[in-house]
Amino acid sequence: MAELARDDRLRQGAGISIAERPARACIDLRGDVTDARFVHAVESVTDLRPPSQGLAAASGLLASLLWLGPDEWLVVSETQASGELCARLRQALRGVHAAVTEVGDARIVYAVAGPNARDVFAKGCPLDLHPRAFRPGQCAQTLLGKVSVLIHQVGQDPAYEVYVARSFADYAWAWLVTAAGEYLDGSEGK
Amino acid sequence: MSQPNRTAAGGRIDRERPLSFRFDGRHYVGHAGDTLASALLANDVHLVARSFKYHRPRGILSMGVEEPNALVQLGQGAYTTPNMRATQVELYQGLSAQSQNRWPSLSTDVGAINDRLSALLPAGFYYKTFMWPAALWMRYERGIRRMAGLGHAPREPDPDRYERMHAHCDVLVVGAGPAGLAAALAAGRAGARVIVADDQCEAGGQLLAERFEIAGRPALAWVGATLAELQALPEVRLLRRTAINAYYDHNFLVGCEQLPGERAKELSTVPRQRLWKIRAREVVLATGAIERPLVFPDNDRPGIMLAASVRGYLNRYGVKPGTRVVIATAADDAYRTALDLAGAGASIVAVADLRAQAAGYLPQQVRSRGIEVLTGARIVGTEGRMRVDAVRVQTGASRVRALACDLLAMCGGWMPSVHLFSQSRGKLEFDAGLGAFVPGAATQAVTCAGMVRGAPSLREALAQGFQAGAAAAARCGFDRIAKIECPPTLEPEETPIDASCAFRGTPGGGKQFVDWHNDVTVADVRLAAREGYDGIEHLKRYTTAGMGVDQGKTGNLNALALLAELRGVPVLEIGTTTFRPPYQPLAFGAIAGADSGALFDPVRRTPMHGWHERHGALFEDVGQWKRPWYYPRPAESMRQAVDRECLAVRAALGILDASTLGKIDIQGPDATEFIDRIYCNSFRTLAPGRCRYGLMLRQDGMVFDDGVSARLSEHHYLMSTTTGGAARVLAWLEEWLQTEWPRLRVYCTSVSEQYAQVAIAGPRCADMLAPLTDVKLDAMPPMSVREGSVAGIPARVFRISFSGAPGYEIAVAAGRGVELWTTLMGAGERFGITPYGTEAMHVLRAEKGFIIVGQETDGTVTPLDLGLDRMVAADKFFIGKRSLARADARRTDRKQLVGLLTESPQTVLPEGTQLILEPHDFAAAPRSPVAMAGHVTSSYYSANCGRSIALALVKAGISRLGETLYAPLDGQLVKVTLTAPCFLDAQAQVRRG
């Protein structure tokens, strides 16, 4: 596995917890959502229709489809093997103009949850995560400090998952721990 | 310890919590709830500063944001902060402050000689005085700089923490005075998301300084009840100690929150300042007003204060700044000061009213207390050295009376704080009644309420606040508003103010200050107007009026009203200088936020970074990436290490971490057509399973990026880019696809981070790799790609080389990069495998004359300049093609890529060295111009060549091969010979970028 010392990537405190999630299958999916064959093919493999609405995510038992752009989704799954899921998507999309690209190794996922999670994000994310503006099941590509991230709200509490490019993951972790510093247990202050 | 000016009771301070502090080394005691200014005044300290130019003794003028005089150096060592307004510094235990701009001390200041020399130091004196001789300006400037600047910046790194916060709301209310609180209440009750920001530690605004009543009870009871209701509303956020400093487009405002000094130091996880970036659908500005000072001779002595501030100190802080008080005023408002002070036992010597009449309710109240009111008064001067001790007043033609006093409270009416409104690009109007600017037409979703709009009474301010808050919420869709009862207030009618009394000054001697902060007087404004600097922007730059820490908050209006009168035009025609952020000074640290130290910039590391670290690699920054530079062994120099690594690659086996190169997955039925348009060389002839080096140009025909692209299958490519170009190339591809060629069916996906990539190079690489892989290496021609496994890891194997030595590159999932690397290291041990870094990589590719984009190219270099004519396809379209046909691109004297050999094989020219055609005697003619023929782009010692080698761009270089040029270096001329850009067996050019 990766070299980076990730053993300690779990921090908790008053109203906040931050933890690295285990590696999961991530597939970058490109295609035309107005093409019924594309939609059916994706549905046949994931049981989900690719959301055509911006900032939307569709989640099912097998996988989630996170909207990245008008013709781009991130297919993620914690239960399916990446290679197999890829192969099934490619098979189903045979003859359809689409692209299925494995990107699971390119991303690290952090879980950020708790009543103070929004205040922690507010320190470096310009997006409005207020419950009136951003709800469970929504996702958005935005900034966290100086790096691009994909934020997916997975719970009401609130709970979020943050996808960050592998080489920026150390920065993102340091950023999260610093931003949450005032809430964290045993914080020596960074 | 006694606080002689502290009242026995009253005020908002906590008398149970004394706080000791130091000012200029002396110990004092104040209370929790004090500012530094109120605590100094409680201790009867008026003299707190020396003025900027004349070093005149100065005291505390005001109570708030506008303070021009009481600027102190706060804290010590790394924590020190210059030019802090004592009026805005909350007192804390152990606070230590120093006065500024004096030497050796406040009471004995050598610089005060400037006051006596003032005739030599008129406005703009430095433009006139130091103009000749011009050569000496730099010396003058040093002296001027030493004299200017007031406080000093700390020399140590800032130990405090800062952070930024993004916030969003329906309604942002700026100011928590009566109008702001009313607006927040109306919007909050309607259900809108509301943020209320106020720069004080306590809400209430001007009510904190007054003895007003609302609904028959003290106004602060209403403030308390309102706050309680606001705090109970879940969508209302109150930001105390938060000055909104900037108002940008799209209702984006930025504020700075001060966290109290004591707390921040105890808990290093809590920042000292927090920058708030607020995006609001609607803004209500309830920013209040600033009291206008009066202009008269020697109006700057310590003990001369703004009248509303005087009663503010009394009512808010329980501090009576003086005991024998003269009040000078052009408005009824100052009579409140007289009444409040008299009520607190101060002796009011007289009220000098500059207006012809003072017949309103408040003046009558004052008279009924037996206090003398002089109408039609003129202030002809003041006396006192370190503190005012008399005011000289004249009424009509009577003789001048000297009124002994220890405090002079002055009032020229109120000036609405239109700064933020103006920053929002709202238009200002001139209110003749107020004699001041008020908000006019707005250009953003903003409304103003209260004194900023010129509300003449508390009742009106509250009504405007409720109305503005309710309307703003309604525009955001929150219109379920319970009817709001505006609470009743009892207020007397006031006599109109006469603003002209404020700025005109009094004919006669003595300096009449318009701008305290910059020592600008009436005479300076007159001089500027006389000399033609009679536009407001000219006036500002010529006299410095309105510059500096206070940005003219007290002085600007008087300066421009005076200028308008001198020119005989309406004030509105003179206009104002531009209001710019920040409204109040803030620490640079607040702007930087948490972006310092480890968070200054992301550091990107490859999956194998830890291995490199453990094996002694030094790292080179390539963009944000850390790449292994070279791996020195103990006691090895850089040159020795790089030589060893280079020799190992050519002789046996080297291994390089190539993971940082950009990788873009390109697929779709039109992928080949797309790639062919992007690269200047042809790709349609590339068979699946093969790779090709591609060169990418901009529209102007200049080289933009390069790299090897592999055709994985009929409609599927994997493009590689330079490390630094990865993001920009993907953006470039998307731009062309989305804006120019939307019909091409192609998808591009970045996979740069998905793969760890390892280059192995050297004659033994196949020997090592073959047993580890199921890929048939001997069936792989140069420039080909195969899928398979290496060391049991699914992998892509490329037969490509950037070193010119036989080589492969192996890509595996990033998570398995370390596993691949360590397996290869183990398997290569018996072949003498040597990890090499970017320095050796650069030397090796230079030995073969392979370019590096960004080193041999700088955005002005075409493929033809690089001698890569054969890569420019004639039979297809590509980006930049037409530009290559321009006459300029065809010039034969363009700078072209050549190799350089120095006469002495040990001389390594510095990269960037200029080259000249003829020998030149620099000792004899050091400054004469010499035509430059080109410059060195890459230069190394090559152990494989046994000598130094260099690449250079030289005018008409390709036609000069074999010629000798000269490189001026450290006073010597180094002879160089031009060669073809390849130094090692010039066949078999296998390459990648």
pLDDT (average), residues B199-221: 95
B557 and B447 part of one domain: no
List % helix, strand, coil for chain A (3-state, nearest 5): 25, 35, 40
- In a domain, residue B235? The reply is yes
Residues of A in contact with B608 (CB under 8 A): 3
Q: At what angle do helices B536-543 and B556-567 cross, to 10 degrees?
A: 120
Residues of chain B with Cβ-Cβ distance to A122 below 8 Å are 165-167
pLDDT, residue B992, reads 39
Inside any domain, residue B680: no
Query: Where would I find the beta strands (DSSP E) of A92-155?
Result: 99-102, 107-113, 139-144, 147-155
Label residue B989 by pLDDT band (50, 70, 90): very low
Assigned token pair, B198: 């106020």
pLDDT of residue B508: 75
Identify the domain boundary among B103, B128, B159.
B159
Closest by CA position to B951, among listed B966, B968, B934: B934
Residues A55 and A86 in one domain: yes
| Distance (Å, whole) CA A134 – CA A126 | 13
**Do A30 and A96 fall within a single domain?**
yes
Q: Compare all CA atoms of chain B with the CA of A128 and give the residue at the minimum distance.
A: B168
By C-alpha distance, which of B852, B871, B869 is closest to B937?
B852
**A174 domain residue, yes or no:** yes
pLDDT at res. A1: 34
CB-defined contacts A:B, below 8 A = 123
How sure is the predictor about B498, in pLDDT bands with cuts at 50, 70 and 90? confident
Omega of the bond leading into B133 within 30 degrees of 0 (cis): yes
Report the length, in residues, of chain A: 190
Domain end among A82, A105, A128: A105
**Phi, psi angles (nearest 5°) of residue A153:** -85, 120
A14 touches chain B (CB under 8 A): no
Residue B132 banded pLDDT, cuts 50, 70, 90: low
| Strand, helix or coil for residue B353 | strand
Structure tokens at B770: 């073959």
Mean pLDDT of B914-941: 90
Question: Does the pLDDT at position A190 exceed 50?
Answer: no
3-state SS class at B423 = helix
Contact state of A2 with B608 under an 8 Å Cβ cutoff: no
Dig out the tokens for B301 from the structure: 């002595």
Q: What is the predicted pLDDT for the residue at B921?
A: 85
Confirm whether A31 is domain-assigned: yes
Last residue of a domain, one of A79, A105, A131: A105
**B153 in the same domain as B44:** yes
- Specify the pLDDT at position A79: 95
In a domain, A128, yes or no: yes
- What is the enclosing helix (H) or strand (E) of B433? none
Instruction: Categorize the per-residue pLDDT at B248 as very low, low, confident or very high, splitting at 50, 70 and 90.
Output: very high
User: Whole domain around residue A157: which residue ranges?
Assistant: 10-22+106-179
Asked whether residue A58 falls in the same domain as residue A82, the answer is: yes
User: Which among B602, B608, B814 is the nearest to A146, CB-wise?
Assistant: B602
Q: How far is CA A149 from the centre of its chain?
A: 8
Identify the CATH number of the domain in which residue B579 sits.
1.10.10
Element (H, E) at A4: none
Partners of residue B895 on adjacent β-strands: B955
Taking an 8 Å cut-off on Cβ atoms, the answer to whether A106 and B753 are in contact is yes
Q: What would the two tokens of residue B107 be? A: 């009471």
Residue B250's CB is within 10 A of a number of other CB atoms, namely 9
**Which of B162, B163, B714 is the best residue to mutate to test the A interface, defined by the most A CB atoms within 10 Å of its own CB?**
B163
The last residue of a domain, from among B159, B186, B203: B159
Contact A28 B167 (CB under 8 A): no
Cα–Cα distances in Å, from B803 out to B644, B650, B989?
15, 9, 10
Domain region containing B917: 891-993
pLDDT score, position B121 = 77
CB contact under 8 A, A181 and B269: yes
Better-predicted residue by pLDDT, B488 or B595: B595
Asked whether residue A65 is assigned to any structural domain, the reply reads yes
Three-state secondary structure call for residue B528: helix
Residue A86 covered by a domain: yes
Residues B246 and B130 in one domain: no
Question: CB distance B814–A122 less than 8 Å?
Answer: no
CATH number, domain with residue A163: 3.30.1360.120
pLDDT level of residue B269 (50, 70, 90 thresholds): low
Average the pLDDT over B409-425 and give the result: 97
Identify whether residues A77 and A96 lie together within a single domain.
yes
Q: Rounded to a whole number, what is the distance in Å from the CA of B276 to chain A's nearest CA?
A: 9
How big is the CA angle at B679 (ends B844 and B850), to the nearest 5 degrees?
10
Could you tell me which of B53, B51, B49, B50 has the C-alpha nearest to residue B123?
B53
Report chain A residues whose CB lies below 8 A from the CB of B270. 182
Judge if A92 and A120 occupy the same domain. Answer: no
Mutate which: A166, A177, A183, A185, vs B, most B CBs within 10 A? A166
Same domain, A44 and A77: yes
In a domain, B758, yes or no: no
pLDDT in tens, B47-68: 999 998 899 999 999 999 999 9
Domain count across chain B: 5
Q: Are residues B582 and B524 in the same domain?
A: yes
Q: How far is CA B608 from CA A1, B612, B659, B817, in A?
A: 11, 7, 9, 6
Same domain assignment for residues A153 and A114: yes
Which band of pLDDT confidence, cut at 50, 70 and 90, is reported for residue B491? Answer: confident
Q: Is residue B302 part of a domain?
A: yes
- Backbone φ and ψ for B356, nearest 5 degrees, come out as -70, -30
- Give yes or no: residues B511 and B563 share one domain: yes
Residue B687 pLDDT: 98
B443 lies in the same domain as B405: no
Q: Rg for chain A (alpha carbons), in Å?
A: 17
Lowest-pLDDT choice from B123-132, B704-713, B878-887, B904-913:
B123-132
CA–CA dist B760, B752 (Å, integer): 19
- How far is Cα B291 from Cα B414, in angstroms, rounded to an integer? 4
What are the chain A neighbours of B163 within 8 Å (beta carbons)?
123, 179
Cβ contacts of A170 on chain B, cutoff 8 Å = 603, 605
The whole-number pLDDT of residue A111 equals: 98
Average pLDDT score over residue span B826-841: 98
Asked if B316 and B203 sit in the same domain, the reply is no
d(CA B298, CA B249): 43
- Give, as one character, the DSSP assignment of residue B770: G
pLDDT of residue B963 exceeding 90, the answer is: yes
Q: What is the CATH number of the domain that holds B308?
A: 3.50.50.60
> Which residues lie closer than 8 Å to B495 by C-beta, 6 or more apart?
B331, B332, B355, B357, B358, B359, B360, B363
Average pLDDT, chain B: 93
In this predicted structure, what is the pLDDT of residue A188? Answer: 45
pLDDT digits (tens, 9 = 90+) for B64-120: 999 999 999 999 888 899 999 999 999 999 999 999 988 888 888 888 888 888 877
Residue B507 CB partners (closer than 8 Å, separation 6+): none
Averaged over B553-567, what is the pLDDT? 94
CA B323 from chain centre, in angstroms, equals 46
From chain B, pick out residues whose CB is under 8 angstroms from the CB of A145: 594-595, 599, 602
What pLDDT is attached to residue B131? 62
Q: What is the 3-state secondary structure (H, E, C) of B29-98?
A: EEEECCEHHHHHHHCCCCCCEECCCCCCEECCCCCCCCCCCCEEEECCHHHCEEEEEHHHCECCCCCEEE
Q: Please indicate, yes or no, if residue B391 is contained in any of the structural domains.
A: yes
Position B986 scores a pLDDT of 61
CATH, residue A35: 3.30.70.1520
**Judgement on whether residues B523 and B576 belong to the same structural domain of the protein:** yes
Q: Which amino acid is at B74?
A: L
Same domain for A15 and A52?
Answer: no
Amino acid in position B169: C
Q: What is the DSSP letter of B486?
A: P
Task: List all residues of chain A from 31 to 70 with a beta carbon under 8 Å from chain B.
Answer: none
Report yes or no: A187 at the B interface, CB cutoff 8 Å: yes
Kindly state the average pLDDT of the residues B311-335. 97
Average pLDDT value for residue range A7-33:
93
Question: A99-102 and A72-77: which strand pairing?
Answer: unpaired
Is there a single domain that holds both residue A14 and residue A36? no
Span of A90-104, B14-28, B577-591 with lowest mean pLDDT: B577-591
Q: Which spans in B103-235 are helix H?
A: 113-116, 125-129, 137-147, 178-189, 219-232
Can you tell me the mean pLDDT for B854-866? 97
Percent of chain B with pLDDT over 90: 84
Does a structural domain hold residue B363? Answer: yes
Q: Mean pLDDT across the stretch B588-606?
A: 94
Residue pointed to by tokens 């060549």: B945
Q: Looking at the structure, do residues B400 and B545 belong to the same domain, yes or no?
A: no
Inform me whether the C-beta atom of residue A94 falls under 8 Å from chain B C-beta atoms: no
What value does the mean pLDDT take over residues B964-989?
Answer: 86
Let me know if residue A1 belongs to a domain: no
pLDDT at B676 over 60: yes
Per-residue pLDDT averaged across B695-719, rounded? Answer: 98
Q: Which residue of A has its CA nearest to B266?
A: A189
DSSP string, B233-282: STTEEEETTEEEEEEETTTEEEEEEEPPHHHHHH-TTS-SEEEEEEEEEE
Of B705, B760, B758, B708, nearest to B728 by C-alpha is B705
Residue B281 lies in a domain: yes
Q: Please state, in angstroms and rounded to a whole number, the distance separating the CA atoms of residues B494 and B832.
A: 97
Query: pLDDT at position B272, please?
Result: 86
Q: Are residues B139 and B168 in the same domain?
A: no
> Do B28 and B137 sit in the same domain of this protein?
yes
pLDDT above 70 as % of chain B: 95
Instruction: Find, among B574, B558, B65, the residue nearest to B294 by Cα.
Output: B558
The verdict on A134 and A166 lying in the same domain is yes
Of A99, A106, A178, the CB nearest to B754: A106
B921 or B620: which leads in pLDDT = B620
Count of residues making up chain B: 993
Examine the domain organization and report whether A118 and A87 are in the same domain: no
Number of domains in chain A: 2
Q: What residue spans of B848-967 are helical by DSSP H?
A: 881-884, 887-890
Residue B266 has pLDDT above 80, yes or no: no
Residues B54 and B126 placed together within one structural domain of the fold = yes
Q: How far is A40 from chain B (nearest CA, A)?
A: 19
Whether the predicted pLDDT of B709 surpasses 50: yes
Residues A120 and A159 in one domain: yes
Cβ separation A146–B595 shorter than 8 A: yes
Task: Give the residue from A92, A86, A84, A80 showing the smallest Cα distance to A24.
Answer: A80
Of A97, A175, A182, the CB nearest to B745: A97
The answer to whether position A190 is within a domain reads: no
Question: Is residue B775 one of the residues assigned to a domain?
Answer: no
pLDDT at B481 over 70: no
Please judge whether A2 and B818 are an interchain contact, meaning their C-beta atoms are less than 8 angstroms apart.
yes
Touching B: A residues 70-89, CB under 8 Å = 71, 83
The pLDDT assigned to B16 comes to 96
Which residues on chain B are in Cβ contact (under 8 Å) with A187? Answer: 269
| Banded pLDDT at B129 (limits 50, 70, 90) | low
Q: With CB atoms and an 8 Å threshold, state whether B163 touches A179.
A: yes
In this prediction the ipTM stands at 0.95
Partners of B6 in beta bridges? B319
Bridge pairing between strands B194-197 and B162-174? parallel
Asked which of B96, B124, B159 is the last residue of a domain, the reply is B159
Q: What is the CATH number of the domain that holds B87?
A: 3.10.20.440
Instruction: Name the residue among A178, A187, A172, A184 with its Cα closest to residue A111.
Output: A172
Per-residue confidence band for A7, with pLDDT thresholds at 50, 70 and 90:
low
B277/A123 Cβ within 8 A: no
Least confident of B148-152, B234-238, B816-820: B148-152
The answer to whether B409 and B426 are in contact (CB under 8 A) is no
A21 interface with B at CB cutoff 8 Å: no
> Between B605, B610, B818, which is nearest A167 by CB?
B605
Residues of B in contact with A179 (CB under 8 A): 163, 594
SS3 of B858, please?
A: coil
